Amino acid sequence: MLGISLALCAGLFAALASVCAKVAMATEEAAATCQVLVYQVSSLLQHEQGDGSEVVCELVLTYFRISCFGMVFVLNAVMWVFFTKALAICKSSVEATVTNTAANFFFSGVLGRVLFHEALSLLWYVGASCIVVGLLFIHRGSDTEETRVTTDTQTTAGAATHVTGRDKKHR
């Protein structure tokens, strides 16, 4: 269960990295938001809004975008830490990969909807369902293959033990 939790966290951090990348590349929306905020702050402080608001917004947005761009790398590094730990703990690498991919897809959709007010159409839900079902098939196929390999290994080990016991009798 810990491996699944780590893979879910890895998917969340990957989705957060995507959010930071989107914010870092957004220009017009961020500039408009900054202009509104500067206007509101200057109104609260009862200062006249002068030409300096554009300069302030440009400076603030530049630092903010650089920070978001840096966070993409930080969040991806954290995602890889969680993902590699999930790979080590899960019973199969497919289990960790499937869980990570599904979590990333789900969290990206939810964060896009909540933070950016992106519309999630019926087609998105159908596509998400198809991806999740496909990932479940992959996971289920991995469990079947793992069971078959384990059974073959146990059979081979049993045969080797049997041969070894027979060899001792012939000596």
pLDDT at 171: 47
CA 119 to chain centre: 20
pLDDT digits (tens, 9 = 90+) for 70-117: 999 999 999 999 999 999 999 888 889 988 988 998 899 999 999 888
Through-space distance between the first and last CA atoms of the chain, rounded to whole angstroms: 49
pLDDT at 5: 93
The pair of structure tokens assigned to 101 is 């991919």
CB 6 within 8 A of CB 81: no
Distance between CA atoms of 96 and 91, rounded to whole angstroms?
8
pLDDT of 10 above 80 = yes
Compare 83 and 140 and report the one with higher pLDDT: 83
- What is the average pLDDT score of the chain? 80
Can you give the pTM of this predicted structure?
0.70
Phi, psi of 13 (to 5 degrees): -65, -35
pLDDT digits (tens, 9 = 90+) for 125-136: 898 888 888 877
CB 36 within 8 A of CB 70: no
Longest dimension (CA), the chain: 103
| Interval 9-33 mean pLDDT | 88
Distance between CA atoms of 168 and 104, rounded to whole angstroms?
56
pLDDT at 132: 80
